[in-house]
Structure 1
Amino acid sequence: MGCSERPKGAILLGLLLLTLAEIVVGRFVVEKNSLRVLSPDSIKGTHDSAIGNFGIPQYGGRMGGTVVYPRDNRKGCKSFDDSGISFKAKAGALPNFVLVDRGDCFFALKVWNAQNAGAAAVLVADDLDEPLITMDSPEEDGASARYIANITIPSALIDKSFGEKLKKAISEGDMVNVNLDWREAVPHPDDRVEYELWTNSNDECGVKCDMLMEFLKDFKGAAQVLEKGGYTQFTPHYITWYCPQAFTISKQCKSQCLNHGRYCAPDPEQDFSTGYEGKDVVLENLRQLCVFRVANETKKPWVWWDYVTDFQIRCPMKEKKYNKECAEQVINSLGLDLKKIEKCMGDPEADSDNPVLKEEQDAQIGKGSRGDVTILPTLVVNNRQYRGKLEKGAVLKAICAGFEETTEPSVCLGGDVETNECLENNGGCWQDKAANITACKDTFRGRVCECPVVNGVQFKGDGYRSCVASGPGRCRINNGGCWHESRNGVAFSACVDNEEGKCTCPPGFKGDGVNSCEDIDECKQKKACQCPECSCKNTWGSYECTCGGDLLYIRDHDTCISKTTEVKSAWTAVWIILIALALAAGGAYVVYKRRLRSYMDSEIRAIMAQYMPLDSQNEVPNHVDEDRA
């Protein structure tokens, strides 16, 4: 949240968690690997080092290199590029392990700067005489998140005295060769690996939530292959806290907890006045636990991976879909028994222990070689907490290191853990079996449900429950997903070829246009054949009207008329028209003749007047041009 003021409610919840920390002292176990010095002889031997909680440890393997101690920037808090220092090994030489001192900046930043300068691994020498601790990554903000996610080299913390020995040998000009060994970092007692992931359904906690959600999607395919083959036994877990008795009636505990303060989670947005509450997260965590239990009862525990990845895609907090209704849609799409899941969840408002959540709180306490689970996310392999980046390749390497030698499955030896998840139940995606169209796409990150494009026609929808063809040409593909039917050579369709992609029953039918269109009985509804002499017969998609006796039905006027009357009337109209045309033609001819005769008479009289003037003619029109000589 940068430098912004933390909401008061979040401060109170922090105090509650501090109170809880005082009540229950956690036991944190430092996971170690072996560091063996090969030369010089003066410091040869094997030492413990603590695996860093970031980067990618080489679980199940080992790495050899030469230790170098920089002249400047010995704490590694600044970029080595500024000093012109490069740790990139020359061709044919051993990789360089950079030794830096603890202090002044985050462990992860030291490793990041050394990696950028070409280091193959980083050793951090403690500056205190104390037992080894785990180098953790800082709370990611915008700046640190960029480099923490990109650290790909292993790192380890060594104690102060051993660090001094390494520095002295290097200063005396000795070549210090070491081996980092992770082969015993994960126990491998038999041919099956048991691992668990402590996770959370909250997707609004910033960078760590984004990283966890991304890992779940990436690792799903590998996890399901291992589980289906019987190579692993996976169990998901969820961290909850309880509200101290003195605060159970407070507004904050009521909004963050279920079962009267017994099971709590921090507010997703760290703001009690808006958005989702902590108890919403606990409730969804409980649902996901029960999804796993019900799926496990049906011998398909890997369905949990489908549920959590589908839920984060379809029901995110950012879109205000993080709720029971959306969760149940995902459950139904995966074919899980909703009633069994609800029975497993029990009553979240009861003033009593919830068996499922109580079991989770008990499991948080470390047993044997495993420490208490106090951070999210936490991966435990063969009862040993995983250290390093939560990334598919790194985690798979750690799980494969947990198999007894020579019993590793082929997926560990070949690295090919992908499978076509669309082959079983169509991946839980939408499918039109009749048209052989599916929204399921198998990718290297697992299957995605995405409406397809078929023959240039785009299908639109959520990809899980529905996909509908839209735009021009949609009716050519399975009638656009609309109702259609043929009877006796007559076909009707509810598909309208337009951009909206709606299905509308054609005239003469009623219905939703998708699942059905039922014939409208126009006769029963008295919408047709209303004339007294009419009789109505319903047909599929239309109707027929007939008239009794010597009557003919006129559909446009919904009336009956006599067939003979119609003939007589028709001939009368024809004769009237013919007589009118004849009279008009005769009249026009008479007028024409009279006008022609009048004109001819005037012309003849004018000509004759020039040669034989009449006594009674005072003036004869001159038809000669006036300017003629």
Structure 2
Amino acid sequence: MLPWPSPYILMIDRGGCTFTQKVRNAQRVGAAGVIIADSTCLCSAGDSCHSDPGKDCEVREPIMADDGSGNDISIPSFLMFKQDADLVKAEMMANHAVRIEMSWSLPSPDDRVEYELWTTPTDMISKDFLNTFKEAAVALGSRAYFTPQMYIYDGLRSGCQGLYGIFECYNLCTNNGRYCATDPDNDLDHGISGADVVQESLRRMCIWQHYGEDDGVGAEWWDYVQEHMFRCHTEEFFSNKKCIKDAMDHAKVDSEKIEQCMSDSGGLEDDVQNNILEVQLLAKDKSGVVILPAMYVNRVSIRGSLEFPVVFKAICSGYMSGTEPTVCETCANCPDPKECITNGFCGSKKMQDSVSTTTMIYSMFGLAVFFCLVTVIQQRRHQRQMEAQVKGIIAEYMPLDENQNHSTAVSEEDGEFT
């Protein structure tokens, strides 16, 4: 027997099997959603939370992530801090008939939405999104602020410095083992190296600083990423200077400014800190990203595939009620939001309008042309008939006229006139 009629929200304590397995088990028994109740207090909660005896508080917020096998899970789930979960459980214990109404939505603090994407230059999952979302970013304009984030590893924590570290990390790192990335093709001796990925990550962050940080749109950044994926996303050209310069030129990015930015931030050669990459490491630790790519809208992780409609609708749902931009009102609920943004109207609505308005105009024009042609043809036909009749009449009188002339000539010869 289920605790109450399905569908229902199932509350499960943290611990035991993985989060993914807990949610999967709940889905199998008919749950409409799952709340994972944390069993350990956050240190920041202070006196508002009481840990079980023998348990220390958690310094960082816990992370609830898919273990990689959650493709079959369709119900929503989230993690609730212990101080909040304890109140809910206490209410449920005191009143078993309590009904907790819940809704799934994004925080909507104001009339501007902030969204960010965590990825790497070699991430293939986010490739389609990066190739298509520029139009939405431009259409949203100042009403949304985008931040691209490049995922790199802290080489110092990973032990990539020193003789042993250099041997272990090989060509995965820059700055003498400080900043690292995984080898995208799992071949340390060939192809794209982790150091190449770090270098391209720094380049993209510099492009964003110069062309996107002020307006939060960064049209040139999107263009460069698309150009690089189109021209240089191969083992041979990924870090090729001529190919990268060509991609920047097509994206109208000043390559000299970007190279200077990469150098001024600390570069990639010496055992020194790189200011931009240090900021990325701090942002990664703060966000708690563990699976790539990861999209956040108003600091909430967006679950599901990284597709244009999913992200666009999530952004549009992040506005305070009544402050949604026109592009969201027009396109968020369209079957194809991208096509709607490109054309400026929702496809299905325009199709109906085109049948009643555009088609009617063309039909009327066609009818007018048809009648004009019929009129011209009729006039020319009537004219030809009139000409034929006139010629017929003239032809009838021509013999009489000739006979009369002949008789007159004979009479003149005889000296007589009739």
- Report the TM-score range of the alignment, normalised by the length of the smaller protein: 0.5 to 0.7
Quote the Cα distance in structure 1 between the aligned partners of 2:121 and 2:19. 29
Paired residue type of 2:304: K
Instruction: Pick from 207, 232, 243 the counterpart of residue 291 of structure 1.
Output: 207
Instruction: Pick from 134, 146, 153 the counterpart of residue 241 of structure 1.
Output: 153
Task: Confirm or deny that 1:400 pairs with 2:316.
Answer: yes
**Match for residue 230 of structure 1?**
142
Task: Confirm or deny that 1:275 pairs with 2:196.
Answer: no
Task: Confirm or deny that 1:121 pairs with 2:33.
Answer: yes
**Match for residue 251 of structure 1?**
167
SS at match of 2:327: helix
- Percent identity, aligned pairs only? 35
**Match for residue 389 of structure 1?**
304
Task: Confirm or deny that 1:323 pairs with 2:239.
Answer: yes
Task: Confirm or deny that 1:335 pairs with 2:256.
Answer: no
**Match for residue 308 of structure 1?**
225
**Match for residue 107 of structure 1?**
19
Quote the Cα distance in structure 2 between the aligned partners of 1:215 and 1:166. 44
Is the CA contact (8 Å cut-off) linking 2:160 and 2:168 kept in structure 1? no
Alignment CA distance shift 1:252-1:277 (3 Å): farther
**Match for residue 75 of structure 2?**
153
Q: Cα offset for 1:301?
A: 0.7
Task: Confirm or deny that 1:177 pairs with 2:99.
Answer: yes
Alignment CA distance shift 1:321-1:233 (3 Å): same
Is the CA contact (8 Å cut-off) linking 2:327 and 2:341 kept in structure 1? no
**Match for residue 367 of structure 2?**
none
Paired residue type of 2:126: L
Quote the Cα distance in structure 1 between the aligned partners of 2:74 and 2:127. 19
SS at match of 2:253: coil
Q: Cα offset for 1:298?
A: 9.5
Q: Cα offset for 1:283?
A: 0.8
Is the CA contact (8 Å cut-off) linking 1:266 and 1:278 kept in structure 2? yes
Quote the Cα distance in structure 2 between the aligned partners of 1:221 and 1:255. 37
Q: Which runs of 5+ in 2 are unaligned?
A: 41-51, 348-418
Quote the Cα distance in structure 1 between the aligned partners of 2:289 and 2:173. 20
Q: Cα offset for 1:290?
A: 2.4
Spell out the pairing of 1:51-66 with structure 2 (5 A cutoff): none
Spell out the pairing of 1:216-227 with structure 2 (5 A cutoff): 216-217=130-131, 219-226=133-140
Is the CA contact (8 Å cut-off) linking 1:294 and 1:337 kept in structure 2? no
Is the CA contact (8 Å cut-off) linking 2:175 and 2:273 kept in structure 1? yes
1:367-405 CA-partner distances (Å, limit 9, x unpaired):
xxxx555654444444x3425335444544443344333
Quote the Cα distance in structure 2 between the aligned partners of 1:313 and 1:222. 20
**Match for residue 212 of structure 1?**
126
Q: Cα offset for 1:231?
A: 0.7
Spell out the pairing of 1:370-449 with structure 2 (5 A cutoff): 371=287, 376-382=292-298, 384-386=299-301, 388-389=303-304, 391-392=306-307, 393-414=309-330, 415=332, 416=334, 417-418=337-338
Alignment CA distance shift 1:351-1:96 (3 Å): closer
1:273-309 CA-partner distances (Å, limit 9, x unpaired):
4432210110111121123233338966133233334
Q: Which has the higher contact order (CA 8 A, sep 6+)?
A: 2
Alignment CA distance shift 1:258-1:133 (3 Å): closer
Task: Confirm or deny that 1:186 pairs with 2:114.
Answer: no
**Match for residue 281 of structure 2?**
361
Q: Cα offset for 1:137?
A: 0.9
SS at match of 1:360: helix
Alignment CA distance shift 1:326-1:242 (3 Å): same
Quote the Cα distance in structure 1 between the aligned partners of 2:169 and 2:116. 29
Quote the Cα distance in structure 2 between the aligned partners of 1:375 and 1:253. 21
Quote the Cα distance in structure 2 between the aligned partners of 1:315 and 1:246. 28
**Match for residue 201 of structure 1?**
121
Alignment CA distance shift 1:298-1:405 (3 Å): closer
Alignment CA distance shift 1:69-1:327 (3 Å): farther
Is the CA contact (8 Å cut-off) linking 2:172 and 2:180 kept in structure 1? yes
Q: Cα offset for 1:117?
A: 6.4
Quote the Cα distance in structure 1 between the aligned partners of 2:321 and 2:122. 38
Is the CA contact (8 Å cut-off) linking 2:37 and 2:79 kept in structure 1? yes
Is the CA contact (8 Å cut-off) linking 2:161 and 2:178 kept in structure 1? no
Quote the Cα distance in structure 2 between the aligned partners of 1:223 and 1:68. 46
Q: Which runs of 5+ in 1 are unaligned?
A: 1-66, 71-86, 90-94, 204-209, 424-442, 444-629
Alignment CA distance shift 1:223-1:101 (3 Å): same
Quote the Cα distance in structure 2 between the aligned partners of 1:186 and 1:298. 24
1:481-503 CA-partner distances (Å, limit 9, x unpaired):
xxxxxxxxxxxxxxxxxxxxxxx
- Relative to its length, the structure with more helix (as a share) is 2
Task: Confirm or deny that 1:137 pairs with 2:66.
Answer: yes
SS at match of 1:236: strand
Quote the Cα distance in structure 1 between the aligned partners of 2:321 and 2:130. 28
Quote the Cα distance in structure 2 between the aligned partners of 1:290 and 1:214. 22
Quote the Cα distance in structure 1 between the aligned partners of 2:181 and 2:169. 9
Q: Cα offset for 1:332?
A: 2.7
Is the CA contact (8 Å cut-off) linking 1:252 and 1:272 kept in structure 2? no
Alignment CA distance shift 1:397-1:418 (3 Å): closer
Quote the Cα distance in structure 1 between the aligned partners of 2:79 and 2:145. 32
Alignment CA distance shift 1:394-1:152 (3 Å): farther
Q: Cα offset for 1:406?
A: 1.8
Alignment CA distance shift 1:119-1:221 (3 Å): farther
Q: Cα offset for 1:248?
A: 4.1
Paired residue type of 1:388: R
Is the CA contact (8 Å cut-off) linking 1:198 and 1:378 kept in structure 2? yes
SS at match of 1:122: strand
Paired residue type of 1:305: W
Spell out the pairing of 1:488-527 with structure 2 (5 A cutoff): none
Paired residue type of 2:261: C
Quote the Cα distance in structure 2 between the aligned partners of 1:114 and 1:214. 33
Is the CA contact (8 Å cut-off) linking 2:13 and 2:37 kept in structure 1? yes
Structure with the greater alpha carbon radius of gyration: 1
Q: Cα offset for 1:345?
A: 2.3
